[in-house]
Chains A and B, each alone.
Chain A
Amino acid sequence: DIVLTQSPLSSPVALGEPASISCRSSQSLVHSEGNTYLSWLHQRPGQPPRLLIHKISNRFSGVPDRFSGSGAGTDFTLKISRVEVEDVGVYYCTQATQFPRTFGQGTKVEIK
């Protein structure tokens, strides 16, 4: 199975400051057809996860442009340019290149 390792696991950030989360994969996430199926999810307390970014860097519908994704192969990053109150919660990376689908452990973002 592909193991996704996120860091940091906790990230206290001041309002308006940037935040960055890393996701490293135990194997390349490049699919044989050429796409890389790495997504980022955000989960607020008591809510289901919601999709932020898919295929490394594509923002999902309605996601603010302060969220951006980058990376390639086995190393990926989610960046929030200026953290807002509504951004608190847990962020997960997930891969859909191979079965079984897997998730990172999650990174908790809180306001400092």
Chain B
Amino acid sequence: QVQLVQSGAEVKKPGASVKVSCKASGYTLTSYDINWVRQATGQGLEWMGWMNPNSGNTGYAQKFQGRVTMTRNTSISTAYMELSSLRSEDTAVYYCARGTRTFDFWGQGTLVTVSS
């Protein structure tokens, strides 16, 4: 069965970077796009960007341009999202979600806490 398993919770200081992983199983990573979506506590869903794991092509929401980088390692079926220059407002649960024209499978989420 399709699964996306994300890395564990992180605590970072303002100005630092965080890199979250998303390991795919049950299908071939390169067959579907991977999106990253975040959700602050008690808030709605916010799309950050997408990556085509086959080509490595990416597209980022304007809000995150210059701060986010999405990559992959196809040999271990894993996608990554790195967010830099963290600030307190970046405290949220970060999800990876599979799909090009919808989000059909989601990771369990990774809580990133930014605190001094």
Contacts and interface: CB of A to CB of B under 8 A. Distances in A.
Interface string A29-46: 000000101010100000
A103 interface: yes
A49 B46 contact: no
Interface of B: 35, 44-47, 50, 59, 61-62, 95, 97, 99-109
25 contacts: A39-B102, A39-B103, A41-B45, A48-B106, A48-B107, A49-B45, A49-B103, A50-B106, A51-B102, A51-B103, A51-B104, A54-B104, A94-B45, A94-B102, A96-B99, A96-B100, A99-B59, A100-B61, A101-B35, A101-B50, A102-B47, A103-B44, A103-B46, A105-B44, A106-B45
A39 B105 CA distance: 13
Interface of A: 35, 37, 39, 41, 48-51, 54-55, 60, 92, 94, 96, 99-106
Contacts of B45: 41, 49, 92, 94, 103, 106
B47 A48 contact: no
Contacts of B108: 48
A100 B62 contact: yes
Nearest to B63: A100
Contacts of B50: 101
A46 to B, nearest CB: 9
B20 to A, nearest CB: 14
Contact of B95 (A48, A94, A102): A48
Nearest to A92: B45
B106 A60 contact: no
A35 B44 contact: no
